[in-house]
Homo-oligomer: A and B are copies of this chain.
């Protein structure tokens, strides 16, 4: 007889593994750590998810659905400047937000710099569409331009956002802390958007004939 509040084994594993993968990465998280936190037997991961990679992919899939529901890119297509602000804000929440909804963003950021076997699939299913979205916004502002230039501008924006995740350990040492509260994240998103709109505008002016 189980307590109703006690979730099943697979759920407990998914929960514990998600937290550990997010804070320590795939490599540095051991199955023993996961099972200890989930309060399940060591063999449970292999039984329910075949192997460690299977568990990781299950978490990636689950968290992808969660993040799209929690932080969607709801663009109007009418005002690209406003769309950029939405894009940046949602991306920042995906990277810096608290709790389960932001899990996928953090796993993606980790995957970018320390890829596992899951990166190829992740790239095509999640990263490329997001990148296309951003390039579309930029194109709506600057008009037609060489694909390479649009990619560079997109990189400038993505780089500003991802920096706060990728360089987190350094930022904490240099500045003491990292934005965590919702209003802090929103303020940062506005600052990055404003900065980027100026950069994009400068490109447009420089390259119009």
Interface residues of A (CB under 8 A from B): 25, 27-28, 110, 112-115, 119-120, 123, 127-128, 131, 148, 151-153, 155-156, 158-164, 166-171, 173-175, 188, 191-192, 194-203, 206
Contact = CB atoms under 8 A, between A and B. Distances in A.
Nearest to A149: B191
24 contacts: A27-B27, A110-B113, A112-B170, A113-B114, A113-B166, A114-B114, A115-B169, A119-B169, A120-B173, A123-B173, A127-B170, A151-B174, A152-B191, A155-B163, A155-B164, A159-B162, A162-B163, A162-B167, A163-B163, A194-B199, A196-B199, A197-B202, A198-B199, A198-B202
Contacts of A128: 174
Residue of A25, A153, A156, A162 with most partner-chain B CB within 10 A: A156
A194 B188 contact: no
Contact of A194 (B119, B168, B202): B202
Please report whether the interface of chain A is mostly helix, strand, loop or mixed according to DSSP.
Answer: helix
Nearest to A197: B202
Nearest to A115: B169
A175 to B, nearest CB: 6
The 3 closest A-B pairs by CB, nearest first: A159-B163, A195-B199, A198-B202
